[in-house]
């Protein structure tokens, strides 16, 4: 029994791989292009583990994917590989169109060609699990109900538009060709191995370096927050019991304003690593809001609980403490991912 995982050296993908192999001996073939956010250090604990086979490659490479499917005969594909940072999609949307749309199309076609001639029992058991985002649903007003799986798609950024397109492709390949697909749309993830361009790791890393903590606009943008190992457990539940063709929203039941997230991180750092210069909140700096910034996301995760019995194990209080402590305990990892190109990008995005 084997899984093919795409994007398994990135933040969510690597956490899924590590979580899976903590609980199962089923082999994982891990395909990742190792772009700036893919990092084999995330998987260092698996070095020499025969259950984990890493392949550097691109999800747009049809010949490579065909070869992996023919050689390893996986029972499922779990598709994480994606460009995922909204800010980067605004300044450079082309990479998002290629990876998120063309890559998903390539993977679907390879999966269909592999799945069609399988013996009937294997064909019925096969799954293509597409990992997506709540951002495809657009933005909510403060009093709007949370996103349900039936919410109309209203993507507002090049990133969310590219993920919406990939979701539609996955749906179409099920309804047209019968490919047994599953889609999960998750809220904002946080936890270990998170590349420090997203809000929580950026705040931790900048605070420890005594740098400004850039907060867009008034900081009142609201997101639902999901601890990354809870996301991994949700994917396991959907892969095991989800109905082909169905969509499952995965959320943490933790709606928080961005400024409150930043202040929570500062308070934890004040407790765990006090700065002689004073409270970390002194570093909070409001910067010009990004174009088209969605005001609120919120996930209604009742369907996955009702049908599959899944709920997150972490509260935000427990998850954020674990996250801050992980970054304090892994300064070498942080140093290694902060390449010159990354520092240049942060300077350009938020100001020196």
Q: Which residues are designated catalytic? A: 134-135, 159
Task: Check: CB of residue 204 under 8 Å from CB of residue 275.
Answer: no
Question: Of 187, 141, 211, which Cα lies nearest the Cα of 316?
Answer: 187
With both helix axes pointing from N to C terminus, report the angle between 316-329 and 258-272 in degrees, rounded to the nearest 10.
50
Q: Is the dihedral of CA 86, 78, 45, 314 positive or negative?
A: positive
Tell me how far CA of residue 71 lies from CA of 4, 52, 66, 114, 115, in angstroms.
11, 15, 9, 11, 14
Count CA within 13 A, CB hemisphere, residue 69. Answer: 27
Q: Rounded CA gap, 326 and 268, in Å?
A: 12
Task: Check: CB of residue 50 under 8 Å from CB of residue 26.
Answer: no
Q: Is the dihedral of CA 258, 261, 262, 263 positive or negative?
A: positive
Tell me how far CA of residue 188 lies from CA of 84, 106, 153, 194, in angstroms.
11, 26, 17, 12
Question: Of 163, 134, 124, 263, which Cα lies nearest the Cα of 207?
Answer: 263
In what order do the strands lie in the sheet containing 52-56? Answer: 52-56, 27-32, 2-6, 76-79, 127-133, 181-186, 247-250
């Amino acid at each position: 029994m084997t899984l093919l995982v795409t994007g398994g050296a990135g933040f969510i993908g690597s956490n899924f791989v590590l979580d899976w192999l903590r609980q199962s001996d089923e082999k994982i073939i891990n395909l990742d292009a190792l772009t700036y956010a893919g990092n084999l250090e995330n998987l260092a604990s698996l070095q020499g583990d025969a259950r984990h086979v890493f392949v550097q490659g691109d999800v747009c490479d049809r010949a490579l994917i065909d070869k992996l499917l023919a050689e390893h005969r996986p029972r499922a594909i779990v598709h994480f590989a994606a460009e995922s940072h909204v800010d980067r999609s605004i300044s450079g949307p082309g990479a998002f169109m290629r990876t998120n749309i063309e890559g998903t199309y390539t993977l679907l076609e390879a999966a269909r060609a592999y799945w069609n001639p399988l013996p009937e029992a294997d064909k019925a058991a096969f799954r293509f699990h597409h990992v997506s985002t709540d951002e495809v649903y657009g933005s909510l007003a403060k009093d709007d109900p949370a996103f349900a799986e039936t919410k109309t798609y209203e993507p507002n950024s090049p990133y969310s538009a590219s993920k919406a397109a990939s979701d539609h492709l996955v749906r179409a390949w099920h309804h047209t060709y019968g490919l047994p697909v599953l889609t999960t749309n998750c809220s904002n993830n946080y936890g270990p191995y998170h590349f420090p361009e997203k809000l929580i790791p950026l705040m931790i890393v900048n605070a420890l370096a005594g740098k400004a903590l850039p907060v867009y606009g008034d900081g009142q943008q609201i997101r639902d927050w999901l601890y990354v190992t809870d996301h991994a457990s949700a994917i396991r539940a959907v892969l095991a019991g989800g109905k082909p063709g169905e969509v499952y929203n995965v959320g943490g039941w933790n709606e928080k304003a961005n400024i409150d997230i930043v202040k929570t991180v500062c308070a934890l750092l004040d407790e765990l690593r006090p700065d002689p210069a004073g409270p970390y909140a002194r570093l909070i700096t409001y910067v010009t809001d990004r174009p088209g910034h969605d005001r609120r996301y919120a996930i209604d995760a009742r369907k996955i609980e009702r049908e599959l019995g899944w709920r997150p194990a972490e509260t935000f209080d427990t998850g954020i403490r674990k996250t801050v402590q992980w970054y304090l305990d892994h300064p070498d990892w942080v140093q290694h991912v902060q390449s010159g190109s990354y520092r240049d990008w942060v300077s350009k995005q938020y100001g020196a």
